[in-house]
Every structure is written in structure tokens, then in C-alpha cells.
Amino acid sequence: MAPNLIKPPRVQRLPDIVTVAEAQQLCSATRTLSYRVFFFTLYSLGLRLGEGLRLQVGDIGAERRRVHIRDAKCNKDRLVPLPAATLDLLRRFWQIHRNPVLLFPNRHGGLKGAGQATTPLDRGGVQVTLRQVA
């Protein structure tokens, strides 16, 4: 029988904060357009990875300059401000893939197949790409 041991508390470390210059370097070093736009959007809106992957075309409120984030932390919805540069970039990116639902469709069929994709970008693929770029 093991004695009653007291476990030390878990240490919670804060994530590294990326500066604007570092974010620009990451975006410019990313060769794949969909990942470049995705990284820029995450940084400019302050989103978590899962929140960015779940973004849909209908969540972008261009007239009010807000983005509706659904099922965020603790399954709560929230609205975040939409910068003009991000809106312009998202519009140009949507003109390329034209998926009626997903803002960041998967790339399995290339840009032509992205219009009919039913799943977003792969979480693992985004993480691997960011590690390679960093």
C-alpha cells in the first residue's frame, strides 16, 4: 500500500506572445496561400486554432465589421472586431476557392476541389506547417 503522497501543483505556463513583426515574418514565409491567409486571420482576430478552423462564410459580418465566433471556450459564442485588412484578404481568398460554407476548406482536391469541400483545413496539417515555417 502506497503512502499518501502530496503531489506538487501543476505549473501553468503562459504561451509565447508573437509580435507583429514576427507574425509578418511567419505569414510571408508561408508558401501555401490557404495557410498564409489562415495564419494572418488567426493573428489579426486573436483566435484559437479550433475557432479559426470552424469559421464559416456566414460568420463574417462585413457590414458591422465583426466576426461571430461559435462554440468558443466553454461552448460560448463571442463577437470579435474585424479589421479592414483582414476583411479584404478574406474576400480575395474566397474569390479563389468559392466554398459556399467553409471559410478555410480542406486542400485535398486543390483549389478547384476546395469549392466542394465539406471539411475544414486539417488541424495537424496547420500545426505541422506552422512548425516548419517557424
pLDDT tens-place string over residues 99-134: 999 999 987 877 777 888 889 999 999 999 999 988
Contact status, residue 98 vs residue 90, Cβ threshold 8 Å? no
- Mean pLDDT within 33-56: 93
Average pLDDT over residues 19-24: 88
> Where does the pLDDT of residue 18 fall: very low under 50, low under 70, confident under 90, or very high at 90 and above?
confident
Instruction: Give the pLDDT confidence score for residue 47 in this predicted structure.
Output: 93
Which residue do the cell numbers 503562459 mark? 14
What's the angle, vertex CA 95, arms to CA 23 and CA 85, rounded to 5?
35
Calpha distance 80→56 (Å, rounded): 14
**What is the Cα gyration radius of the chain?**
18
Does residue 55 carry a pLDDT above 60?
yes
